[in-house]
Every structure is written in C-alpha cells, then in structure tokens.
Amino acid sequence: MAATTLKGQPLDRPVLDSMLRRRMFYTPSFEIYGGVAGLYDYGPPGCALLANVTDIWRKHFVLEEDMLEVDCTALTPAEVLKTSGHVDKFADWMCKDPKNGEILRADHFVEEVLEARLKGDKEARGVKIEEKEEDPKKKKRKVKATTAVKLDDAVVKEYEEVLAKIDNYNGEELGQLIKKYELKNPNTGVEPSPPVAFNLMFQTSIGPSSNAPGYLRPETAQGQFLNFAKLLEFNQHQMPFASASIGKSFRNEISPRAGLLRVREFLMAEIEHYVDPEGGKKHARFDEVKDVELVLLNRHTQLAGQTHVEKVSIGKAVADGTVDNETLGYFLARIQLFLEKIGVDQSKLRFRQHMANEMAHYAADCWDAELLTSYGWVECVGCADRSAYDLTVHAKKTGAPLVVRQRLEKPISVEEWQIELDKKKFGPHFKKDGKTVEAAIEALPQEKREVLAKELESTGKIIIDVEGVGNGKVEVSKDLIVIERRTRVENTREFTPNVIEPSFGLGRILYALIEHNYWTRGSEGGDEARGVLSFPPPVAPTKVLLVPLSSHESFKPLLKHMSNKLRTLGVSSRVDDSSASIGKRYSRNDELGTPLGITIDFQSVKDSTYTLRDRDSTKQVRADEDKILAAIKSLVEGTKVWADIEKELPAFEGQDAEVPIR
C-alpha cells in the first residue's frame, strides 16, 4: 500500500519533512556543529504536541486504571542490567568495511545485497519489479545501482529462503552467509569484517571512580520492577495492579535513520501490569472492551504470507486463543482506543504477533501495534507478556522477596520432607562452619531430601556438598539430624506475578500521527499547495489563532481581551497580527495544525461578536463572545465536533471566508 495523505493524495515526504523543519516541530540536535545521527530536538509545536499526547496517555491509562506512576532514574548500575539480561543480550550484529571504515548492521547488509542481486536477476529476466514496502528498521543505505545479472533458479530460491529468515541468524551465521555468497559492500566492492555483537546500551561510570559501571537505561521497565515490593505495599497488597512510567530511554542504534522512527534517545511510556499467573490471567474490565474490533495479524497468518486480515472483536480473539489471555487482550484493545483518541488513522493500524524466534529473551507472547507510514509498517507500541522473568531474576540475584503473599481462604495441607537439626550438638560439632553447613542443609530441595533420608536410614550418616568448608564435602551423622516426611498446614499462598507490558515509543507515535493527519490544499491565487495538519483539537499544539482584520488600533483591546479569556479557560492561543492577508495567516497556522481561528473585525468592535473558523472545512460561524468561547471549550475538550457547532451557531459568509478546498 503506497503512503497517502488524509485526503488520499500520494504523500510527498520531502515536502512534509521540509514543512516540519520550517515550522520547527523537530530539528536535528547540534545542527550548527554538523549534527549527530539519531538525536533530535523538539521545537515549540513539537513539544506542545508531545505534551498533549502524553497528557492524554496519562489520563487514558494511569488515571482511568488507577495505575501507580513512578519516575525512576535513567542512570542504572551495570549489575541491574546484567541481571535483567541486557548486558549479555541487548545487542545487534555489526561489521566493518576494512576499506572505508563504514559500519554496517550485519543483517541489513546481507539483506540489501541479496535483494539487490534478486532485483538484478528480475531485470535480466525482464520481470516487472514491484516496489515493496520499506521497513524503516532496515532502511536502505544509498548503494550503487545493481547490474542486471541472471541467477540460477536454485540460487534464487536459496536467496529467497535466506531473506525470509533474516531475523533468525546469529552473528556467526551471518558471517557464514557473507563468506558463502561472497557479499561485498556495494560502495567499495570489499567484503566486510566478520560480524561482532554490538551492545546497544550507552555505558558510563557512576561517580568519580571507575569501579561503579553503569548504563543509560534502554527501557523504563527495570526501575519499575525494582520498586515492585514497595508498590505492592503502597497498593495495600491488592492484586492485580499496574505501575506506569514516562521517561527517556537510550539506545546506541548502529545506524539511526528514518527521522524520529529510529533515534538514540526517545521518550517511552511503559506500563507493567502485574497479574496472578493462575486462573487464566483474567481481567475484571475485559467486558468493557470485548466488542472492540482489531486487525490481528497472528503468527499463522504471517507464515502463510498473508498481510491482510479482517477485523475481529477482541472477545472472539481471546475466546478462540488467537490472543493468549484476557489481560493481554484488554490492553491491545485499550491501546487501539488510545491511538484512535489521539487521531491515528484506524485504517493504518494493525496488531502483529511476534514470531517465536523474534521475541525478546523474556517474553512469553508479544503483539506490536504497527502504524502504516511512508516508511512502511512501523512498530509503535509493543505489548508483551514478560511472564515472571524479571521479578524472578532480580529476586534471585538480590534475595529481595519480589513475590505476592495471599492469605488462603481455606488453609491447605502440604506433605513434604522436613529437616530437624539437633542445635545443641550441631554448633559445637561444626564450630565456626556451623552456620554455613546449616544454610546448605536448609537449602536442600525436596527431591534431594528424599534421597538423603534413605541414605541416613541405611548408613547412619549423609554426605552433603558445602562450598568453602573443608574439601567441599561434609559428613553429618544420625545423632545431629532427622529427615522425615511430615504434613504442614499452609495459610498463605506465595507467587511471583506475571507481567503484561504495553510499551509505547511516543516519538514514533508522534511521527505517524503527523503523517496520518497531513494533507494539502490549494491556496487562493494559485499559490503552491499548502499543508494542513488535521490534528483533533485536544491534541493540536495550539488551539486557537487570533487574527485581527488589520492593524487598526480599535482591534487591539479586543485582541488582548480574547487572549486573556482563552488563557483563563486554559486554552492555548496565538496572535497573528502580521500584515499578510487573513487567508495567508490562516494557511500558515493550518501547517501547525491549529484547529480554530477567531477573526476580530469592525463588527466585533461594534457588538462583541466574533467569527470562529474551522481549520479543516474553512467554514465559519459568527456569535457573541460567550457563545464563541463555549464552542471553543467544548471542541478543545473533545465533547463536541465542528458539525455540532455548525448546527448551533449561525454560519458566516463574510469577506474572510478563504482558501476553498480544491
């Protein structure tokens, strides 16, 4: 599907990019020093847009669901990320061109060269080449044009098989592919070095000495997990519950490209929803969303090579097992409702299930909300079932009890092998090693206890492994220990919760939102087509443009008065009292996505009536100050749409009706 604008026009990305730069939505950081790839600064409209999206996110998730918001530090001790698996596994494979020093992401490089060869083969065979959707994760470098060379049918098949599995290869396998197919960097004609793992985290050291290594966090999740026990207590030990966090994350991407889509520092909004693993991970509010219909591209559909599927209700998808459980399904539906609320085009949204080999090391199931942009389908929200992985590894490493203890309504009897030591004899017998030996005995698992009970019975003694005592083997005789099968009554149940994690990249969402709401219309006088960003009013960076008809003195007090009124209502406004025509002034603000405009004219001076203009239709209504302000308030809060206002207030067809839709 080619990228189109809101009005179905083909999207001209360079034109949109230049408009976004000109209007300072965002701009490359450190530009006058030459810039740094993957780092961007947001300008005033970008900041306002991001703040509004974040605010809606907070209301939609944190407030609506009583989530516990935390703000954790980005600087993280290495030990934490070692335990979570990021130090060892959060890496991509990279190779280097020995001739020009170019750094290549190994999987992208293999893919590019094989695709170029297949393209050359098609050209040689005279087959029409269809442009496939670009994947921004694998955005192409500028490589020299391919030459038309026909390949053997068997080779074509082999290349196609490799490409289908490109995400599955490790570094060694990618290196073998480079050798086997003699893959050369098209820019130099040289074979790159063997792939090496490149960890995506930025390393630093905390404090003046270099013995406290740390990293900038690659996700906000770990801080939330480490606060689990305190949050559970804050929540009065009630389950399920969720924590949430909005904050910057950092990833040293090998080749950041595609604007805001792959950057090295980005704003994330993450939720960690803790759920009891027993009882099918039900969700108390699932009924509220069960009829929401989603496009779900599951594993089987993807394996069958299908990319189009019909919408299905989340209730049905959970019932037939497409989506594993209610909690995961609940969040998929809530993610869709959020994206709809902020103005994402619903026809450009789908949920794609991760293939088994694609999932992160901790995930049990994972669905990505993908948005269609001119760069192809882009993952904007990941929604993973992280199982009990994180809490378990951190508890094991630190000894902290990251568990839930619940009082059982009916106590249960547990039969188990229990050990009793004769403390009076045990201490004097082992002297300084007593505590260590005791700890080793207490830690013996049930299966081992059973074996040892038999050994004690038949030989009168047992031999156990105790690290750091003697030669590591310790003999314990029958007079010091009893091992027996006994019954214990349990009043509490202890379990490690599972985690469902919706993880939002707000920069990616923001860019997709811009593309989805962008279109152009011709301006009066046959000037160049003008861009319009049709953001819903609650999301738009500035809500109202105030335009006096001219610089006539009599308009100034009214301008000040209306500015103050809007400020008191909490509605952001901007004044444009430049000498440009009213139509031009409005068009300029259409590019900023400003949904409403108030014109102050001589009639306003006479009777305090104003015209209110709608950005998308350019239609206007006229009414007194109170009615105009009430209309603005309801539009900005999202309780009414322009069609409601047109029904309520008289239309205005004055000299200012400008810029008709082409």
Ligand X SMILES: Nc1ncnc2c1ncn2[C@@H]1O[C@H](COP(=O)(O)OP(=O)(O)OP(=O)(O)O)[C@@H](O)[C@H]1O
Segment contacting ligand X by CB under 6 A, of 138-146, 190-198, 375-383, 431-439: 375-383
> Which residue's CB is nearer to ligand X, number 221 or number 403?
221
The residue nearest ligand X at its CB is 505
Nearer to ligand X, 539 or 546 (CB): 539
**Smallest gap, in angstroms, from Cβ of residue 102 to ligand X?**
20
Peptide bond into 401 cis (omega under 30): no
Per-residue mark of binding to ligand X, 173-212 (x: CB under 6 A): ----------------------------------------
The count of other CB atoms within 10 Å of the CB of residue 158 is 15
β pairing state of 203-205 and 573-575: unpaired
Stretch of residues binding ligand X (CB under 6 A), selected from 68-76, 402-410, 470-478, 505-513? 505-513
Q: How far apart, in whole angstroms, are the C-alpha atoms of residue 38 and residue 161?
A: 32
Q: Which of residues 242-271 bind ligand X (CB under 6 A)?
A: 251, 253, 262-263, 266, 268
Structure tokens at 10: 């083909």
The verdict on 382 binding ligand X (CB under 6 A) reads yes
Which of positions 31-50 make contact with ligand X (CB under 6 A)? none
Give, as one character, the DSSP assignment of residue 10: B
The span from the CA of 238 to the CA of 537, in Å, is 38
At 577, is the secondary structure helix, strand, or coil?
coil
503 binds ligand X per the rule CB under 6 A: yes
Min CB(381)–ligand X separation in Å = 5
Q: Which is nearer to ligand X, 367 or 586 (CB)?
A: 367
Q: How far lies 214's CA from each of 6, 83, 220, 359, in Å? A: 45, 13, 15, 26
Map residue 39 onto helix, strand or coil: coil
The distance of closest approach from Cβ of residue 217 to ligand X in the complex, given in angstroms and rounded to an integer, is 12
- Quote the least distance from Cβ 507 to ligand X, whole Å: 5
**Residue 275: its H or E element:** strand 265-275
- Sheet strands (E) in 283-430: 293-297, 311-313, 349-353, 365-373, 376-387, 404-421
Residues that bind ligand X (rule: CB under 6 A) add up to a total of 15
- Of 263 and 464, the one with the shorter C-beta distance to ligand X is 263
Among 107, 379, 515, 591, binds ligand X (CB under 6 A): 379
Residue 138's CB: how many other CB atoms inside 10 A? 19
Residue 122 interacts with ligand X (CB under 6 A)?
no
**What's the rounded Cα separation, in Å, for the pair 618 and 647?**
16
C-alpha–C-alpha distance, residues 612 and 657, integer Å: 11
Distance CA 113, CA 132 (A): 16
Q: Specify whether the backbone of 376 is left (phi greater than 0), alpha (psi in -120 to 50) or beta.
A: left
- Scanning 304-312, 379-387, 519-527, 591-599 for contacts with ligand X by CB under 6 A, the matching segment is 379-387
Q: Which stretch binds ligand X (CB under 6 A): 70-78, 187-195, 289-297, 504-512?
A: 504-512
Q: Which of 192, 223, 507, 541 binds ligand X (CB under 6 A)?
A: 507
Q: Enumerate binding residues for ligand X (CB under 6 A).
A: 137, 251, 253, 262-263, 266, 268, 379-382, 503, 505, 507-508
